[in-house]
Amino acid sequence: MTAISLKQSNTHWIDTIQEAYAPNGTPNFMDSAGNLIEGIYLNLPNEVYHSLAAESSTKIKTLAKGRHHYFRQYLSDVCRLRTKAQEYTFDAGTYGHMLVLEEHNFHGQFMRNPQPEDFAMPNLIETIPELKAALAKYNLPISGAKAALIERLWTHDNTLPIYEKLRENAIEQFLTTLYPNAIFSNENDIIEYAKLHNLNIKRDFEFILQDVQTLNPNMLLLEELIKKHVIDHIVWDDAHRVQKSTRAHPKANWLFSDGFAEISIIAKCPTTGLMLKVRFDWLRQDAIAVDLKTTASTNPTKFGYQLRDLRYDIQQVFYCYVANLVGIPVKHFVFVATEYKDADNCETFELAERKRDEADAEMHELLAELQECFDTEDWYGFDRSRSTWVLDV
């Protein structure tokens, strides 16, 4: 691998770890002028890390596809970000990461969307026939969509074990513990709040909501909180199986111990002058780096193809390079791969030395190319000379 000059403090790197923020809220990773400060940081929020003006392994992997890909993704004004509706649509892999790496940050923040069997009631009213039968018992109309049937029956007797109402109540109780006295159940609540505070309600609802949240920023709409904190039961169960399978693997369980989760590092490349950043899933105190991958298959051949296609090799050498720059002597990097869809299994993988050497050389070439791109502002596609391709397919 390319020789890397470690800082003198490499054997004492743990002593140089800082909290991302000082007790007064001042960021330790940035000076008063907004310039990044090299170092090793804990508890840097994920969204803050991603906003840092530094090159990441994801950016370098994008450049490996072509400099035109890098330009489109990070420098152009074309915006294809996920919509707000998709923002909280995390998958089992995301939650599985939380459970394996930072279980304490998962529990109490999320709940499983309650299912009928969770209430263990033999007389639970759930289906349309059950709702109609209950309505008929009280001589109430039985026509309409399911939501109308539920509301009609609930209005008549709000002590009946109606599944949807029990589910809604369980969710609201959970969210109230997270946000006491700070939840609007629906739009009518917001209108009433606006009236109470003499706000103009003869406008579009979005403007009323803006004024209400300006008046009381702590007030939140239940619907948004449900998206953020209530997890689909299948996703919830999958995520917990990711945790169980990973922790059941002796080597993986050992790897995810005696270390730091989600540790962030900022360093300056001495060759290009570029600011670089990495965020390790797990970094052991013995400087072994561990990266958790949820995958469709833990078959070694298939995972090898995934490693190649998604350029995990570039990720590994980039992470090691940046860590070395701040004095962390990372020499071993292990991928912990866990599958959960078609089977439950975990395997651990390391990259062959030959592939590490190849990836390391390519990574340094890409850093140099990126600096050239910034200098020349030349973001060509596949041919620097812009000549015509002759195809014989």
For residue 20, what are the CA distances in angstroms to 287, 318, 323, 367?
20, 22, 17, 26
What does the radius of gyration of the chain's CA atoms come to, in whole angstroms? 27
Q: State how far the Cα of 80 lies from the Cα of 13, in Å rounded to an integer.
A: 39
Quote the pLDDT of residue 152: 95
Half-sphere exposure of 219 (CA within 13 A, CB side): 17
Partners of residue 183 on adjacent β-strands: 220
Backbone phi, psi, residue 298, to 5°:
-95, 10
The b/e string for 247-272 (b: 16+ C-beta within 10 A; e otherwise) is bebeebeebbeebbbbbbbbbbbeeb
pLDDT at residue 56 tops 80: yes
Q: State how far the Cα of 211 lies from the Cα of 230, in Å rounded to an integer.
A: 27
Each domain of the chain, given as residue ranges in start order, spans 10-79+236-376, 108-231
| DSSP code, position 74 | I
Distance of CA 230 to the CA centre of its chain: 15
Quote the pLDDT of residue 208: 80
Q: State how far the Cα of 115 lies from the Cα of 123, in Å rounded to an integer.
A: 15
For residue 373, what are the CA distances in angstroms to 51, 70, 268, 361, 385?
21, 10, 18, 18, 15
| H/E element, 199 | none
- pLDDT tens figures, 115-163: 999 998 889 999 999 999 999 999 999 999 999 999 999 999 999 999 9
- pLDDT tens figures, 63-115: 999 999 999 999 988 765 544 434 444 689 999 999 999 999 999 999 999 99
Q: State how far the Cα of 361 lies from the Cα of 380, in Å rounded to an integer.
A: 22
Helix H, strand E, coil C: the string for 106-131 is HECCEEECCCHHHHCCCCCECCHHHH
Both tokens of 219, joined, read: 């007030």
Alpha helix stretches (DSSP H) within 138-287: 146-156, 163-178, 187-196, 205-215, 222-229, 233-248, 250-255
Mean pLDDT score across all residues of the chain: 90
pTM: 0.84
| 384-388: Cβ within 8 A, 24+ apart | none
Q: State how far the Cα of 274 lies from the Cα of 268, in Å rounded to an integer.
A: 6
Q: State how far the Cα of 7 lies from the Cα of 208, in Å rounded to an integer.
A: 56
What secondary structure does DSSP assign to 331-352, as a single string? Answer: -EEEEEEEE-SS--EEEEE---
pLDDT at residue 388 tops 50: yes
Residue 66 zone, left/alpha/beta (φ > 0; ψ -120 to 50; rest): left
- pLDDT tens figures, 309-351: 999 999 999 999 999 999 999 989 999 999 999 999 999 999 9
How many other CB atoms are there within 10 angstroms of residue 232's CB atom? Answer: 14
| Topology annotation, domain 10-79+236-376 | Lambda Exonuclease; Chain A (3.90.320)
- pLDDT tens figures, 269-295: 999 999 999 999 999 999 999 999 999
Q: State how far the Cα of 144 lies from the Cα of 152, in Å rounded to an integer.
A: 10
245 and 346 Cβ atoms separated by less than 8 Å:
yes
| 59-63: Cβ within 8 A, 24+ apart | 59/370, 60/314, 60/318, 60/363, 60/366, 60/367, 60/370, 61/310, 61/311, 61/314, 61/315, 63/366, 63/369, 63/370, 63/373
